[in-house]
Structure formats: structure tokens, C-alpha cells
Amino acid sequence: MPTESQEIEVQTRSNLELSDIYQDSGLRKNRPSGGLVVAIAAATSALLGGLAAAWYYRRTISRLQQAAENGPDSKFGIPEPTDDDGR
């Protein structure tokens, strides 16, 4: 009749063998590394954040684009530099 310590040792060996089988199997090799998963998640988050910001500020962006196309705005009272100013 085996003692309690012998039963624990047999169970431990069995667990180690199962652990080795799992580590050698293709299940572990097919998974991407943790760093790759984090990098993909960060890139996706940055892309979606940029798209969300562009959508949220779409009116402001279109106004800035129109202002760039139309040239300087006289409403601001900033005169264009002339040769008289020494510039």
C-alpha cells in the first residue's frame, strides 16, 4: 500500500508530464506573442481614436480647409505685411 507522500509524488510526475505535453504541442506555438497582440491593440486604438476625433471635429476641419483655400480673412484686422513695414 503506497504512502501519502508516494501518491503525491506520482500525481506530481503525472502533472509534470501533462505540462510537458502541452508545452510541446502545436497549441502553444500557433498563438501570437503577447507583445504582438499589445502592438496590434495599440495601433487599432490609435487609428480608431484618430477617426473618432476627425468625425467629432469635422466642421472645424472643413472650416480650416476653407480658410486655407480662401486666403487671409479681413475680419481679424491683421494687415498683410508690406514693404513699408520694413519686412
DSSP secondary structure of 47-69: HHHHHHHHHHTHHHHHHHHHHHH
Domain locations in the chain as residue ranges? 33-70
> pLDDT 10s digit of each residue in the chain, 87 long?
567 777 777 777 777 666 655 555 555 567 778 889 999 999 999 999 999 999 999 998 888 888 888 776 556 666 666 776 555
Give the per-residue pLDDT at 85: 55
0.95 surpassed by pTM: no
CA 43 to chain CA centroid, Å, is 3
Give the per-residue pLDDT at 50: 95
Give the per-residue pLDDT at 80: 66
